[in-house]
Amino acid sequence: MNKNIQVEELHIGKNSIIESSVKIRGINGKAKKIVIGDNCYIGDNAQIICDDFSIGDYAKIHHDANIHGYLPCHIGHNAWIGQFTIIDSIGGVTIGNNCGIGAHSQLWSHIKFGDTLEGCNFLSDKPMHIGNDVWFVGHCIVSPVHAHDKSMAMAGAVITNDMNYNEIYAGVPAISISDKIGFQFSEKSIEEKFAKMAAYLKEWNANSDKIKIVKSLDEIDFDSVGISYFNIADRTYTKKSTAEEIAFMKFLLPARAKFVPLKNQ
């Protein structure tokens, strides 16, 4: 056990790598519960100082990132957290699936320093909610807002208000610029998605018989052994943790396609 990891209840998934210089502990001594999914990577000198922390499969926390706070910090699957990023969970943080937080970004859920006896008006903490497929490109500073699914902040943005679904923000303070440059995501039909995924599978391994691309749950054979189904309708897959599945997921991430495990399969 890494002496820098101090936790009462620790769950580390299969094939996850935690560099020896990483520090994981609670605010005051041992953390209560830390959960790290399968096929994750946590880089040199990263710190997780939080009593209740979890992160899903295929997550990357790059070197010198700092995650800290009194309240829980829960992060979904396929997260990409850049180097020197700060995530403050003093007010509590939830981050959905498929989110990217670019290098040197700072996500703050509290403000605290000025002397309240002397009349300072700035002392607060508030939960931060980051939805699915949210992308802070880099060097972003984020207040405790609600960033709705598929919203995006350009490099250097200072986010002080909630971010709307699929809109792009820029500036100080940041405002939506989607009326000028469009949106992070465009609508794609099932047929378009299927064709693209089929092309990705062919590029990765045209002869694979262990990966199947489907358009709905009805096409999945849940009794099959060793076959991983990728359902483009809801972006889920039947997690089997085979070598082929892991290799294909790593081929797809971070920018070709993102899938999360199908629940209750």
Question: pLDDT by residue (tens digit) across 211-222?
Answer: 999 999 999 999
- Residues 94 and 86: their CA atoms lie apart, in Å, by 14
Q: Is the pLDDT of residue 189 over 60?
A: yes
DSSP assignments along 187-202, one per residue = ---HHHHHHHHHHHHH
Of the candidates 17, 63, 21, 19, the one whose C-alpha atom is nearest the C-alpha of residue 38 is 17
Q: Is the pLDDT of residue 48 over 70?
A: yes
Between residues 264 and 233, the one the model is more confident about: 233
- Residues 172 and 210: their CA atoms lie apart, in Å, by 49
Torsion sign (Cα): 47, 43, 38, 233: positive
The answer to whether the predicted template modeling score (pTM) of the entire model surpasses 0.85 is yes
Residues 86/106, Cβ–Cβ less than 8 Å: yes
pLDDT band at residue 1 using 50, 70 and 90 as cut-offs:
low
Per-residue pLDDT at 264: 78
Domain 7-181, CATH class in plain words: mainly beta
Percentage above 90 pLDDT, the chain? 96
- Residue pLDDT, tens place only, 95-133: 999 999 999 999 999 999 999 999 999 999 999 999 999
Q: Residue ranges per domain, the chain?
A: 7-181, 190-261
- How confident is the prediction for the chain on average, in pLDDT? 97
Q: What is the distance in angstroms between the CA of the first residue and the CA of the last residue of the chain?
A: 33
Residue type present at position 168: I
pLDDT band at residue 21 using 50, 70 and 90 as cut-offs:
very high
Rounded mean pLDDT of 224-235? 95
pLDDT band at residue 3 using 50, 70 and 90 as cut-offs:
confident
Per-residue pLDDT at 170: 98
